[in-house]
Amino acid sequence: MKACASNFHATRLRYRSLILALALTVAGLMAGGFSAPASAGGVDRTPYSDSYTYSDDSCGYATTVDVTSSGTLSVRTGTGPATSVYFFTNQSSWREVHTNLATGQSFVIRGHGQGKDVKAKPLGGNLFEVVNKTGGPVFVESSDGDVVYRAAGKFTFRFVIDTHGDLDPASDFVEFLGESVAGHPLTSPCQMAALFWGTGSAARLTAHAIGTTDSPLGYYEYLPPGYGQGPKKPLLIFLHGFGGNGDGTAAQLPNVINDAAIPYYISTDGWPADRPFVVLAPQHNFIDTPAYPYPCDVPFGGSCLMQHQHDYGDPLPAGSACTTPTEVQQFLDYALAHYNVDPARVYVTGLSCGGYGLWESIPRFGAGRIAAAVPISGDGRPALHSSGCSVGSVPIWAFHGDADDVVNPAGSIDTITTLQACPAPPRKELRLTVYPDVGHDAWDHAYSGSQGQDIYTWMLGFTTS
């Protein structure tokens, strides 16, 4: 199970450009005929400059990022057991212009420093673990050039390569192992963006560790402006992916925020104040156990995992890698009893493992339990095969990327297509959005609305009464 889960949910890189710029530069120089040093320990140096633009909606809203970089790339061959390893040193300056597409506002992140591969640990055969350390000052400026933040820090990246002796980073790279940041209080572009166009949502986010409330799970709570005054607010329950799992304690509950999507947007001041929802994000507690094996070293390992969990009966308290329908129903009971929300306007959304948990929960909710559901990158086929048309008994808008290699896109496509052939009733409104050339992370597109889909207005168009 651990081998399958290790690649199930990707790590969110905070300072993407620091590693992305180096990777793109190295790849470009390779294509241009950059050659390896002739002898072990030898060094070749090549100056470079580069520019590119990419779209980013990982903060909860659509932005474009214009990047320019320049510097000198040095490469040397290793010695001892690492003679087939190439070590890169990147003396660079870089500048990013982040522009909010909705408002036209922009700000600048810039920096300079050195990135250096400092260690190659033999793992056996051609595999090596490489440590890259990048250091230097980072500045955040307004579009007028006023510096609002500066810090000097160090970023450490660890990854595995498979050496082939051909100096080809694209084929040598095997796995990203993790990152650490020292010296930077702000650890993501989203937090930096909040200095300029933040909504203040982070101040309205509260962590409730397990045992501090009557909730069966630890969870995060967001209360919108005006909560407790006037009409009751709608309730939105968010179900995280595999990376958000934890035991609900104060130490592990932040996994929910670090994982992705709505809680992350709220925590970095990216959640609009005019969205009226009370947002609650419970944490699923996964206890790995040999009693429930997951032999999922296969294509679409996430779908394999979800099918196994369904076949096991979504067991608790141990054995279920993804959110279970029992957890969802129990937490919903708690939420309705303890929050001043409108029981006719209850909505549930989830991504990946949480999307699976939502699919599983819909036929077990019973009539009038939730008003609408938005599963993203989850597999609904196990629930469909067991429960048939009752899965479509609430309005559903499903999202998936057609290049998802973790959870089979058929998990959304086939499920919605089959449900659309069901009679009405019980079938309600069913929608499907498949993003072309998008991998497992279809949720930033869906939750940010960057591609034109407004799930929040759509959900509010339904009530259970």
Closest CA to 234 of 244, 243, 224: 224
Strands 341-351 and 372-376: parallel
Between these two residues, 19 and 219, which has the higher pLDDT value? 219
Q: How far apart are CA 390 and CA 418, in angstroms?
A: 12
Closest CA to 365 of 331, 325, 398, 392: 325
Q: What pLDDT, on the 0 to 100 scale, is given for residue 188?
A: 81
Closest CA to 2 of 295, 253, 248: 295
Quick check: helix, strand or coil at residue 277?
coil
pTM of the model: 0.87
32-76 confidence digits (pLDDT tens): 555 556 565 566 788 888 899 999 999 999 999 999 989 988 888
Q: How far apart are CA 341 and CA 345, in angstroms?
A: 8
Q: What pLDDT, on the 0 to 100 scale, is given for residue 356?
A: 98
**pLDDT exceeds 80 at position 19:** no
- Range from 97-101, 134-138, 433-437 carrying the lowest mean pLDDT: 134-138
**pLDDT exceeds 90 at position 209:** yes
**pLDDT exceeds 50 at position 351:** yes
Question: Is the CB of residue 212 less than 8 Å from the CB of residue 263?
Answer: no
How much helix, strand and coil, in percent to the nearest 5, is found in the chain? 30, 35, 40
The two three-digit tokens of residue 100, written as one number: 């909010």
- Range from 30-44, 107-121, 170-184, 339-353 carrying the lowest mean pLDDT: 30-44
Q: Which residue has the tokens 């002898």?
A: 39
Backbone phi and psi for residue 121, each to the nearest 5 degrees, phi listed first = -95, 120
Q: What pLDDT, on the 0 to 100 scale, is given for residue 37?
A: 60
Closest CA to 410 of 306, 303, 330, 296: 303
Q: What pLDDT, on the 0 to 100 scale, is given for residue 17?
A: 46
Backbone phi and psi for residue 377, each to the nearest 5 degrees, phi listed first = 55, 30
Tell me the average pLDDT across 229-247.
96
Q: What pLDDT, on the 0 to 100 scale, is given for residue 381?
A: 98
Q: How far apart are CA 190 and CA 100, in angstroms?
A: 11
**pLDDT exceeds 90 at position 353:** yes
Q: How many CA atoms within 13 Å lie on the side-chain side of 69?
A: 30
372-398 confidence digits (pLDDT tens): 999 999 999 999 999 999 999 999 999
Q: How far apart are CA 362 and CA 393, in angstroms?
A: 8
442-453 confidence digits (pLDDT tens): 999 999 999 999
Tell me the average pLDDT across 172-191.
78
301-312 confidence digits (pLDDT tens): 999 999 999 999
Between these two residues, 406 and 130, which has the higher pLDDT value? 406
Extended strands (E) in 125-185: 127-142, 147-162, 173-182
% pLDDT > 70, the chain: 88
Query: Which of the residue ranges 79-83, 146-150, 338-342 has the most confident prediction, judged by mean pLDDT?
Result: 338-342
Q: What pLDDT, on the 0 to 100 scale, is given for residue 2?
A: 44
Which residues have a Cβ under 8 Å from the Cβ of 397 and sit 6 or more positions away? 372, 373, 374, 430, 431, 432, 433, 453, 455, 458
Domain spans in the chain, listed from the N-terminal domain onward: 2-193, 198-460
CATH homologous superfamily of 198-460 equals: Alpha/Beta hydrolase fold, catalytic domain (3.40.50.1820)
Tell me the average pLDDT across 256-276.
94
Neighbour-count burial of 440, counting CB atoms closer than 10 A to its CB (0-12 exposed, 13-18 middle, 19+ buried): buried
Q: What pLDDT, on the 0 to 100 scale, is given for residue 18?
A: 46
Q: What pLDDT, on the 0 to 100 scale, is given for residue 302?
A: 97
Task: State the pLDDT confidence band at 1, using cuts at 50, 70 and 90.
Answer: low
Q: How far apart are CA 72 and CA 348, in angstroms?
A: 50
Q: What pLDDT, on the 0 to 100 scale, is given for residue 420?
A: 96
Q: How far apart are CA 50 and CA 47, in angstroms?
A: 11
Q: How far apart are CA 83 and CA 208, in angstroms?
A: 52
